[in-house]
């Protein structure tokens, strides 16, 4: 076998081996990464669906909370009244509030009222027998020993799965004795689950643990889910992925299995890509092999073959000197000429290799330059910083002495100086050119690169810059900067010696100009976005202030109250060390603290005298109305604490949720003091405002019951009161 053939075989096998190794490792890495990404997304989806179910339970509990602590419900449980049923348990109420069952049970365990409603058929139906059996005397669902007791979650029956909440029935002041139990429920029907699937884009199933039809699925999920809170993911097939979560029921035991399935689109795309990768690797390998073999054939193999022939001929003679003596003069000359030729070829190869290495080094430096600019663009939105990085790379990579960037002002349609590097004077810092004026204006007008190897013969363009002559520039290049089809500026390049340019130099100039244009465009977009956000924020705040003024106008007796308490709340929040980022939400919450009163009838809100107990029940619903009005508005969700919780008290005796101590958001605890203070010192139709000394004494007396003691101390120091006793 010849040297040439051996070399070709060795190279071919090496290329084939490298291609196989790279392909196998690439596929394994991509498959592992894809599976990990699919599993992570599935866990997120399962958690999202579970959170959606929990939110539905919370919504049901909100209704139970309102209806259970109400004098009317307290009276109804002891003396059944048909008017109560007509007003609060009508068909329209079930449909509007999405209830499927409502059950009232007295303290003796007797069911006072049980109404059911078919939400799909939109008509009344009896409460299922299995649900009534769950209300048997002694059942945890109807056994409440504490006023704040609540049982909520999922109840799995023989014929249905329910989302429900159970609370003790109390009077309007949230006091006992406990009159009974109110349970509201919503049946989790296949239609509801289907709607949830359609909204989420997932295949969702919820199985009862005793469901015979899902026995295999439940059995497969049990070893994977080590606890009720563990989300398990299993690859079912190359096209299907499933996630499992055992959901505890209202008794705290596993009651149902949440199963979510989705198509493995990523895996399918990967499988299709693998074939493409394989073909690409083979083609690339074959092309590389052909190129290498051609190169070897031309540069190495033919010479090795000649050298091998020569060595073979030498070795065939026992005595080298005898062989040389046998050669004639012409043969020796020919041999010497061959050796000289081979040496010349080798020297040429070395020179070509050095040239190739230098070219690779230059290309690498250019890539580094572009990477540096990319990092600058991605790392900061400060236009001057980015332009400085661009100009530094222009000077280094294009080997020029100075460069500047002129930006195009869209309003004035003028090219204006923005940044420069390498200048010895301030020659161009006041440049203002119209389109078509000067070299830069001409570059924009003609939308092409302008080149002047000798500026001395074309000095007229810089006649407005007297200091320019001192720079001593000879060569000039002006490249227009365009982003998304719009002119953004001009990149100008100067050299104090003659310009030497080739096609590669010009191409890289165009690339740098493109990077500069992108940087300018991104910075402008960010600036415009900041301005738009500021305008939008100002519009939001103006709208909120408009709402608050409208509330003050409606409630004449508190006119000016909102702005006063807002200013004081912000001052107190800052004194408590709240972050500036949170103050904006505190301010919005204070402005909207009484937004829920929009739902209170005028005859109650504007009543000049004291309210009756029944009227107070309605008035106390305004925090809940505020929550329902503001919670769907995303940018106001962080401001909800004050409107929703400013009537809560430190000892837990407030409303609407009976929160206590640290359960009450800090902003609401702060506002509560300010709100009471302003109410005490303000005039009312039925009394005159208190002196500030008396009001402060009253505020201090409520420390530890109505207000947080620490906040009372800070409030007293901040607003002129004496140090607490």
Q: Is the pLDDT of residue 45 over 50?
A: yes
When pLDDT is averaged across residues 361-365 and rounded to a whole number, the result is 61
Q: What CATH number is attached to the domain comprising 462?
A: 3.30.450.40
CA dihedral 42, 44, 49, 51 (to 10 degrees): 160
pLDDT at 353 (0 to 100): 60
Q: Is the pLDDT of residue 168 over 80?
A: yes
Listed in sequence order, the DSSP H helices in 399-455 are: 438-446
Instruction: Kindly state whether residue 619 falls inside one of the protein's structural domains.
Output: yes
Are 444 and 577 contained in the same domain?
Answer: no
Tell me, rounded to whole angstroms, the distance of Cα 634 from its chain centroid.
14
Lowest mean pLDDT among 240-249, 355-364, 524-533, 565-574: 355-364
Lowest mean pLDDT among 111-125, 303-317, 574-588: 303-317
Are 511 and 583 contained in the same domain?
Answer: no
How far is 404 from 66, CA to CA, in rounded Å? Answer: 69
CA dihedral 28, 32, 38, 44 (to 10 degrees): -170
Residue 579 is given by DSSP the state -
CA angle 175, 179, 181 (to 5 degrees): 105
Q: Is the pLDDT of residue 172 over 70?
A: yes
Instruction: Kindly state whether residue 533 falls inside one of the protein's structural domains.
Output: no
Are 490 and 569 contained in the same domain?
Answer: no
State the pLDDT confidence band at 723, using cuts at 50, 70 and 90: very low
Percent of the chain at pLDDT exceeding 70: 80
Listed in sequence order, the DSSP H helices in 69-90 are: 71-78, 82-88
Q: Is the pLDDT of residue 512 over 60?
A: yes
DSSP characters over 229-257: T--EEEEEETTEEEEEEEEE-TTSSEEEE
Q: Is the pLDDT of residue 113 over 70?
A: yes
Instruction: Kindly state whether residue 572 falls inside one of the protein's structural domains.
Output: yes
Neighbours of 297 (CB within 10 A): 14
Structure-block tokens of residue 511: 């690339």
Tell me, rounded to whole angstroms, the distance of Cα 598 from its chain centroid.
34
Tell me, rounded to whole angstroms, the distance of Cα 584 from its chain centroid.
21
Are 588 and 672 contained in the same domain?
Answer: yes
How far is 13 from 15, CA to CA, in rounded Å? Answer: 5
When pLDDT is averaged across residues 546-553 and rounded to a whole number, the result is 70
Percent of the chain at pLDDT exceeding 90: 24
pLDDT at 466 (0 to 100): 58
Q: What CATH number is attached to the domain comprising 88?
A: 3.30.450.20
Instruction: Kindly state whether residue 253 falls inside one of the protein's structural domains.
Output: no
Burial class of 331 by CB neighbour count within 10 A (0 to 12, 13 to 18, 19+): exposed
pLDDT at 648 (0 to 100): 94
Instruction: Kindly state whether residue 710 falls inside one of the protein's structural domains.
Output: yes
Q: Is the pLDDT of residue 493 over 50?
A: yes
pLDDT at 156 (0 to 100): 93
pLDDT digits (tens, 9 = 90+) for 389-436: 888 888 888 888 999 999 998 888 899 988 998 888 887 778 888 888
pLDDT at 669 (0 to 100): 95
pLDDT at 554 (0 to 100): 62
> Which backbone phi and psi does 66 adopt, to 5 degrees?
-70, -45
Q: Is the pTM of this model over 0.75?
A: no
pLDDT at 317 (0 to 100): 47
Q: Is the pLDDT of residue 115 over 90?
A: yes
pLDDT at 390 (0 to 100): 86
Q: How many domains in the chain? A: 3
Are 510 and 583 contained in the same domain?
Answer: no
169 close to 74: Cβ distance less than 8 angstroms: yes
Q: Is the pLDDT of residue 273 over 80?
A: no
CB neighbours of 102 closer than 8 A, spacing ≥ 6? Answer: 89, 94, 113, 114, 115, 182, 183, 184, 185
Tell me, rounded to whole angstroms, the distance of Cα 544 from its chain centroid.
26
Lowest mean pLDDT among 138-152, 293-307, 699-713: 293-307
Instruction: Kindly state whether residue 367 falls inside one of the protein's structural domains.
Output: no
pLDDT at 645 (0 to 100): 93
Element (H, E) at 58: helix 3-68
pLDDT at 378 (0 to 100): 58
State the Rg of the chain over Cα. 41
DSSP characters over 540-555: HHHHHHHHHHHHHHHS
Q: Is the pLDDT of residue 672 over 70?
A: yes
Q: Is the pLDDT of residue 570 over 90?
A: yes
Q: What CATH number is attached to the domain comprising 629?
A: 1.10.3210.10
Could you give the C-alpha distances from 538 to 26, 275, 480, 528, 568, in angstroms and in order?
52, 55, 38, 15, 21
Domain boundary among 157, 185, 213: 185
Structure-block tokens of residue 416: 């204006």
pLDDT at 297 (0 to 100): 60
Domain boundary among 129, 157, 185: 185
Which of 168, 653, 654 is closest to 644 using CA atoms?
654
State the pLDDT confidence band at 352, using cuts at 50, 70 and 90: low
- Report the chain's mean pLDDT, rounded to a whole number: 81
592 close to 562: Cβ distance less than 8 angstroms: no
SS3 for 720?
coil
SS3 for 491?
strand
Question: Which range of residues forms the domain containing residue 154?
Answer: 69-185
pLDDT digits (tens, 9 = 90+) for 677-722: 988 888 766 568 889 888 999 999 999 999 999 999 999 988 865 4
Beta-bridged to residue 382, according to DSSP, are none
pLDDT at 105 (0 to 100): 94
HEC secondary structure over 90-119: CHHHHHHHCCCEEEEEECCCCEEEEEEEEC
> Which backbone phi and psi does 241 adopt, to 5 degrees?
-130, 140
pLDDT at 329 (0 to 100): 60
Q: Is the pLDDT of residue 725 over 60?
A: no
Domain boundary among 155, 185, 215: 185
Q: Is the pLDDT of residue 266 over 60?
A: yes
- Assign residue 661 a region: left if phi > 0, alpha if psi is -120 to 50, beta otherwise? left
Q: Is the pLDDT of residue 290 over 80?
A: no
Lowest mean pLDDT among 35-49, 464-478, 587-601, 614-628: 464-478
pLDDT at 369 (0 to 100): 63
* Stronger pLDDT, 626 or 327, i.e. the higher one: 626
CB neighbours of 663 closer than 8 A, spacing ≥ 6? Answer: 648
Instruction: Kindly state whether residue 64 falls inside one of the protein's structural domains.
Output: no
């Amino acid at each position: 076998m010849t040297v040439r053939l051996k070399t070709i075989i060795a190279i071919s096998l090496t290329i084939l081996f490298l291609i196989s190794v790279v392909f196998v490792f690439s596929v394994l890495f991509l498959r592992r990464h894809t599976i990990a990404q699919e599993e992570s997304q599935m866990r997120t989806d399962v958690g999202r669906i579970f959170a959606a179910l929990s939110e539905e339970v919370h919504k049901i509990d909100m209704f139970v909370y309102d209806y259970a602590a109400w004098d009317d419900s307290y009276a109804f449980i002891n003396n059944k009244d048909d008017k109560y049923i007509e007003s609060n348990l009508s068909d329209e109420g079930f449909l509007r509030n999405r209830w499927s069952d409502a059950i009232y049970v007295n303290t003796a365990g007797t069911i006072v009222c049980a109404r059911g409603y078919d939400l799909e058929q939109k008509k009344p139906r009896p409460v299922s027998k299995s649900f009534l059996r769950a209300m048997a005397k002694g059942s945890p669902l109807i056994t409440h020993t504490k006023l704040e007791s609540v049982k909520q979650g999922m109840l799995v029956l023989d014929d249905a799965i329910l989302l429900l909440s159970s609370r003790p029935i109390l009077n309007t002041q949230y006091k006992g004795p406990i009159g009974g139990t109110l349970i509201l429920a919503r049946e989790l029907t296949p239609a509801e689950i289907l709607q949830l699937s359609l909204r989420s884009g997932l295949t969702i199933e919820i199985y009862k643990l005793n469901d015979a039809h899902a026995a295999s699925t439940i059995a497969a999920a049990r070893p994977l889910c080590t606890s009720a809170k563990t989300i398990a993911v299993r690859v079912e097939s190359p096209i299907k992925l499933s996630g499992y979560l055992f959901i505890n029921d209202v008794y705290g035991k596993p009651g149902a299995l949440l199963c979510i399935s989705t198509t493995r689109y990523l895996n399918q795309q990967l499988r299709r890509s693998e074939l493409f990768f394989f073909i690409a690797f083979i083609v690339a390998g074959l092309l590389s092999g052909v190129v290498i073999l051609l190169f070897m054939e031309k540069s190495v193999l033919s010479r090795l073959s000649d050298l091998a022939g020569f060595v073979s001929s030498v070795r065939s003679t026992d005595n080298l000197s005898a062989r040389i003596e046998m050669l004639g003069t012409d043969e020796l000359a020919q041999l010497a000429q061959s050796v000289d030729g081979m040496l010349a070829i080798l020297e040429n190869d070395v020179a070509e290799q050095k040239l190739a290495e230098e070219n690779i080094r230059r290309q690498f430096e250019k890539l580094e330059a572009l990477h540096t600019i990319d990092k600058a663009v991605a790392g900061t939105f400060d236009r001057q910083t980015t332009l400085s990085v661009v100009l530094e790379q222009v000077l280094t990579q294009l080997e020029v002495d100075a460069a500047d960037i002129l930006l195009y002002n869209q309003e004035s349609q003028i090219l204006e100086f923005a940044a420069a590097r390498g200048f010895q004077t301030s020659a161009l810092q006041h440049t203002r050119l119209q389109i078509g004026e000067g070299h830069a204006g001409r570059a924009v007008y003609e939308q092409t690169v302008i080149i002047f190897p000798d500026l001395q013969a074309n000095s007229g363009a810089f006649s407005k810059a007297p200091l320019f002559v001192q720079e001593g520039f000879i060569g000039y290049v002006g490249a227009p900067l365009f982003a998304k089809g719009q002119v953004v500026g001009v990149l100008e390049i100067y050299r104090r010696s003659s310009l030497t340019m080739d096609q590669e130099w010009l191409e890289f100039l165009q690339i740098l100009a493109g990077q500069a244009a992108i940087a300018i465009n991104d910075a402008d977009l960010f600036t415009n976005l900041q301005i738009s956000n500021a305008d939008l924020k100002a519009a939001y705040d103006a709208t909120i202030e408009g709402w608050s003024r409208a509330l003050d106008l409606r409630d004449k007796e508190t006119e000016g109250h909102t702005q006063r308490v807002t200013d004081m709340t912000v001052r107190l929040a800052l004194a408590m060390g709240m972050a500036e980022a949170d103050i904006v939400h505190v301010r919005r919450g204070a402005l909207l603290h009484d937004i829920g009163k929009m739902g209170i009838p005028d005859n109650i809100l504007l009543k000049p005298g004291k309210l009756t107990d029944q009227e107070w029940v309605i008035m106390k619903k305004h925090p809940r109305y505020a929550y329902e009005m503001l919670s769907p508005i995303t940018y106001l969700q962080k401001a909800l604490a004050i409107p929703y919780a400013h009537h809560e008290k430190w000892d837990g005796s407030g409303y609407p949720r009976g929160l206590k101590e640290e359960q009450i958001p800090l902003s609401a605890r702060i506002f509560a003091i300010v709100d009471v203070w302003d109410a005490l010192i303000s005039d009312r139709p039925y009394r005159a405002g208190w002196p500030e000394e008396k009001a402060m004494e009253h505020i201090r007396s409520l420390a530890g019951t109505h207000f947080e003691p620490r906040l009372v101390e800070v409030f007293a120091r901040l607003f002129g009161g004496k140090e607490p006793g």
